Amino acid sequence: MNIPTITEALKEYPENQVTNYCAYLQKLLTEKQKKGNEWVIKNPWMSQRTDAFLIRMFNLVASDGLVFDGQDITLQSTGVSYNYQAYKNKMFLAYPESVIDISLVHENDTFKFSKNSGKVEYLHDITDPFENDEKQLVGGYCVIKNKRGEFLTLLSKADIDKHRRVAKTDSIWKQWFHEMALKTVVKKACKQHFKDVYSNIETLDNENYDLEQLEYIDAEKVAEIKKLIKETAADENKFLAWGKCKSIESLPIDQYNPAISLLKAKVKK
């Protein structure tokens, strides 16, 4: 990743936005996490992203008037990810007068709604505002009011679970269930009632649903492969070319067994 190249390509944008974006990319590239007794690169997929790709992602986000800040809009192994706040921000850009209310409903809450002559009225009495237990969730709702009308979108817990299964990002759901559930509700509302406004975001954000999230081998498997490469005096560069990866740490998990078989075959020789 060449920061000067990215900075030069994005010079038409505010300097602080580009500087923050580059700092965010650098963090993704170098951040480490502990696995077992080793510190390993947290985002090995990042080393496979070209400058052209990273420039294009910033441009695509900016084309919607949004800022790639690394908080509400982030880069994952599957593509660009927008959180529920980013969806709200886009609505405010399109319709500044918008009133948006997104919330989850739990078992002991009272929730009532009605729609009369296009006007949405609702009551949500939250029994415990600190209740975040997934098991107690009943569903979620999103109310959007602006000059286009008043819209109410409802999703049951079963509906939210369906979106979770399709997303194939369960590790994120486990860590940030509340935020992901809110995103699911607002995303459904925006797609259903404001598809013309969110067409570009849908194209980008849907990558997180349509692409298999890459999983990489863990530290133990990395050590085993390195040991076999050393024992067989195999050419590591040729091995990486075979595995189509830039490092052993970024070898996809589905390539692990074939890699072990290949190296063990060399041991037998």
pLDDT tens digit string along 69-87?
999 999 988 788 899 999 9
pLDDT for residue 132 is more than 80: no
Confidence grade of residue 91 (pLDDT, cut at 50, 70, 90) = very high
Same domain, 36 and 144: no
Q: What is the pLDDT of residues 11-67, one digit of tens each?
A: 999 999 999 999 999 999 999 988 888 898 998 999 888 998 899 899 989 989 999
Query: Would 75 be classed as within a structural domain?
Result: no
pLDDT for residue 90 is more than 50: yes
Query: Would 225 be classed as within a structural domain?
Result: yes
Number of structural domains the chain divides into: 3
CA atoms of 17 and 92, how far apart (whole Å) = 20
pLDDT of the residue at 209: 47
Q: What is the pTM of this model?
A: 0.71
What mean pLDDT comes out for the span 130-159?
90
Give the residue numbers spanning the domain of 234: 219-268
Q: Which of 30, 63, 96 is the last residue of a domain?
A: 63
Query: 212, 216, 211, 213: which is closest to 254 by C-alpha?
Result: 216
Q: Are 263 and 225 in contact (CB under 8 A)?
A: yes
